[in-house]
Amino acid sequence: MLKKAIAAARKEKAKTVKARITPQHMQEFKEAFEAVDADGSGEIDETELRMAMAALGFQHTKDEIRRMIKSLDSDGSGTLGFEEFVSLMTNKSAKKEPKQEIKDAFSLLDKGSKGFISLEDLRLAAQELRETVSDEQLEAMLKLADVDGDGKVDGTDLYKTLKKTSAL
């Protein structure tokens, strides 16, 4: 009974936090969930949750993932349904700092951990996201984001660009 009460309290808290989640966030959660739900069951296990969270910029150990599932798994199946996943991601997203989000995004874009984002990095990201973007558009993005004019987009450039364009 205590377990059900805790689960109900978490659902209420999630409703409050969920009201602040944008449609864009919800779409990202849905895409990440569906991408890892290989069998289409509507449930994801530990491995799938870890992959979905990584796709959304969150890195956790296997033990942390197990604890998350255990704390949210209201039916005891050892898996999470989409609503449980949204509850988890809503709380994680609400706690994440904008600077950390930018660091995570930069790390995902900086293939090879060179310390800067290249045209090739953006091409690969566009392909991974199944976005059709011309080289000219990618070059324009790089030029816009190269705040210090050194020909490279580092983490500071990216932060300043996002802050300047009100993307934060």
Run of H or E including 99: helix 98-109
The residue ranges of every structural domain in the chain are 2-95, 98-164
Q: Residue 140 to residues 11, 69, 117, 130, 144: CA-CA distances in angstroms? A: 44, 42, 13, 19, 6
Who has greater pLDDT, 29 or 10?
Answer: 29
pLDDT value of position 1: 25
Q: What is the mean pLDDT of the chain?
A: 80
Chain segment 79-93, per-residue pLDDT in tens: 999 988 988 888 776
Residue 72 scores a pLDDT above 70: yes
98-164 shares the fold of 2-95:
yes
Q: Which residue has the tokens 């898996």?
A: 79
Task: Domain 98-164: give its CATH code.
Answer: 1.10.238.10
pLDDT value of position 97: 59
The whole-number average pLDDT for the span 117-146 is 87
Task: Domain 2-95: give its CATH code.
Answer: 1.10.238.10
* pTM listed for this prediction: 0.49
pLDDT value of position 166: 52
Spatial distance between the Cα atoms of 66 and 84, rounded to a whole number of angstroms: 14
